[in-house]
A = this chain, B = another copy of it.
Amino acid sequence: MQDKTYHHGNLAFELLQAAERELVLNGIEALSLRAVAKRAGVSHGAPAYHFKSARGLLTALGAIGYERLVGVQETRQRSAESDPKSQLIAIGLGYLDFAESNPELFRLMFSSEKPDRSDTHFDTAAKGAFGKLVEGVRKIMDRDPHTHPAAMTQVAASWAMVHGLADLMISGRLDGPLALNDISELTREVLLSDIMLRALAEC
Q: Mark A140-182, 1 if CB is under 8 A from B, else 0.
A: 0000010000001101110111111101100101100110000
Of A161, A171, A194, most B-chain CB atoms within 10 Å: A161
Report the separation of the CA atoms of residues A153 and B177 in the bound assembly, to the nearest whole angstrom: 7
Tell whether A113 is near chain B: CB-to-CB under 8 Å. Answer: yes
- A160–B195 touching, CB < 8 Å: yes
Q: How far is the CA of A60 from the CA of B114 in the complex (A)?
A: 24
* Neighbouring B residues of A112 by C-beta, 8 Å: 29
Q: Is A110 an interface residue (CB 8 A)?
A: yes
Q: Given the complex, which residues of B lie within 8 Å of A139, measured CB to CB? A: none
Does A111 lie at the interface of the complex (its beta carbon under 8 Å from any beta carbon of B)? yes
Q: Within the complex, which residue of B159, B165, B194, B200 is in contact with A168, where a contact is CB–CB below 8 Å?
A: B159
Q: Does A72 contact B (CB under 8 A)?
A: no
B171–A165 contact, CB under 8 A? no
Q: Chain B residues with Cβ under 8 A from A152's Cβ?
A: 177-178
Query: Does the CB pair B199–A161 fall under 8 Å?
Result: yes
CA of A199 to CA of B168, assembled, Å = 15
Q: Which residues of B contact A48 (CB under 8 A)?
A: none
Residues of B within 8 A of A163 (CB): 164, 167-168
Q: Is B153 in contact with A160, judged by CB distance below 8 angstroms?
A: no
Contacts of A128 in B (CB 8 A): none
Residue A25 at the B interface, CB < 8 A?
no
**Is there a chain B Cβ closer than 8 Å to A132's Cβ?**
no
- 5 residue pairs, one from A and one from B, having the closest CB atoms: A164-B164, A160-B164, A111-B111, A163-B164, A160-B165
Instruction: Name 16 extra pairs, CB < 8 A, besides A157-B161, A164-B164, A198-B199.
Output: A29-B112, A110-B167, A111-B171, A152-B177, A153-B194, A155-B177, A156-B165, A156-B174, A157-B198, A159-B173, A159-B177, A160-B168, A163-B167, A164-B165, A164-B167, A198-B201
